Amino acid sequence: MRPRTFAPDPFRPASEVTEDLRTHPVVQTLLRRREEGSRPGARTDGRRVALVIEGGGMRGVVSAGMAAAIEQLDLRDCFDEVHGASAGAFNAAFLLAGQAAYLATLYQFGFGDPRFVSVLRALRGGPAFDMDHVVNHVWTRQRPLRFEALLASGIDLHCTATDADRVAIVDLADLSSPEEICCALRASGRLPWLAGGPVSFRGMRLLDATLAEAIPVQVARATATDMLVLQTRPHGMAHTPLSPLVARLTDRYLRAVNPALIELRRTRSPRYDALTAELTAQAADPKHKPATCVIHPPAGGVAVGQLENRASVLQRAASEGMRSAWMALEGEDPELIGTLTAYPQREGATPAPARARAPRRVRARHPPAHEPRSPRY
């Protein structure tokens, strides 16, 4: 009989995180606000700080881990607005609901239900990735997003998407109900051809945000004095174009929706690389307005694809994201451990991780190419 073995510990560090950003003006503003107990809607410092979250399909687990660090470090309420693109919009919504670590764990289970991916369903003419099921069913019933906590946070949620008719990025803001939030999340993560047809919302036909803008900075640059950007690729890593086969399938889908979208798809990689280089330069410029700070996952970390489904890879990627943000904001590489965490089901109850500020020395818990300014809708 072959002896059974235990799985390796996914929380043991496999890469080094060293980027301590506590001296950066944006981080100093956040830390000062935390020490002062500053709250959204009651600021006295004359600053408006935006959190900008990149997605990228399942690679969004990296920024989900970063958002979990922000949550555990009691920094969520130091932001005035949060912008998310694609999976980054999912991370933004769960962070504002006090469930950032909760969602970081759900990535490895297909956001809460592995059935959201089905090749058989795709062969029958349905979506391969059924985010409608995840958003409208899993996140409202099985693994519910706390909409009441999100809406009561006092922090503005911005979900970006691509307008299929105008061929432009749009900012979905002023979301005032669970129904509007769900629709905005579905629109922001509507991968071309893989997830179904465009989402109809506020008179627009909408597709995945990353088609037009993978890192949702355009609106934040106009509204904020400070930006903290969470990126899902290591510093200097170029955007990888679609394979020839996937590019052809995507273009065939886009041609049926609006042929002008094909050029947007073809230029996505160079536009992304130009934007990341621009953000790097702005983060190094102390005089740039808005003040910009960028957190990256570590170089040499685990590689996560847009369609990644291996639980061990997703766990490690979330861990590396959390460690990177913790080092950037707190100046130490924390020890991570997977723990059971209770989220009370009664309405208005506070999730256990959010009840008290994390101490300074703590073992971090981890539940297992310029573009036009986008209008607000």
pLDDT digits (tens, 9 = 90+) for 147-180: 999 999 999 999 999 999 999 999 999 999 999 9
- Between helices 60-72 and 87-96, what is the axis angle to 10°? 20
Residue of 58, 72, 66, 24 whose CA lies nearest to 360: 72
Q: Which residues pair with 365 in a beta bridge?
A: 337
- Token digits for 217? 């900075």
- Say yes or no to pLDDT of 349 above 70: no
Which amino acid makes up residue 339?
T
Any idea which residue has 């470090």 for tokens?
73
Q: How far is CA 141 from CA 35, 115, 296, 318, in A?
A: 37, 15, 33, 24
Task: Assess contact for 49 and 70: CB atoms under 8 A.
Answer: no
Q: What percentage of the chain has pLDDT greater than the value 70?
A: 91
d(C-alpha 367, C-alpha 314), whole Å? 12
pLDDT at 359 over 50: no
* Cβ-Cβ contacts under 8 Å for 354 (sequence gap 6 or more): 71, 98
**What's the alpha-carbon Rg for the chain, to the nearest Å?**
19
With bands split at pLDDT 50, 70 and 90, how would you rate the model's confidence at 59? very high
pLDDT band at 368 (very low <50, low <70, confident <90, very high): very low
DSSP letters for 142-202:
IS---HHHHHTS--EEEEEEEETTTTEEEEE----SHHHHHHHHHHHT--TTTS-SPEEET
Q: What angle do CA 259, 261, 267 make, to 5 degrees?
A: 125
Contact 71, 353 (CB under 8 A): yes
pTM recorded for the entire structure = 0.91
User: What number is the average pLDDT over the span 172-196?
Assistant: 95
Convert the pLDDT of each residue in 224-279 to its tens digit.
Answer: 999 999 999 999 899 989 899 989 989 999 999 999 999 999 999 999 999 999 99
**% of the chain beyond a pLDDT of 90:** 71
Residue 376 DSSP label: B
Average pLDDT, integer, range 129-141: 92
Which of 54, 4, 7 minimizes the C-alpha distance to 311?
7
* pLDDT(352) > 60: no
Residue 377 pLDDT > 70: no
Mean of pLDDT values over 326-332: 97
Please give the structure tokens belonging to residue 256. 């049926």
Report angle CA 339, 294, 146 to the nearest 5 degrees: 45
- The pLDDT assigned to 307 comes to 84
The whole-chain average pLDDT of the chain stands at 90
| pLDDT value of residue 355 | 44
pLDDT tens across 5-30, in order? 887 887 888 888 999 999 999 999 99
Is the Cβ–Cβ distance between 83 and 220 less than 8 Å? yes
Structure tokens at 137: 């069913």
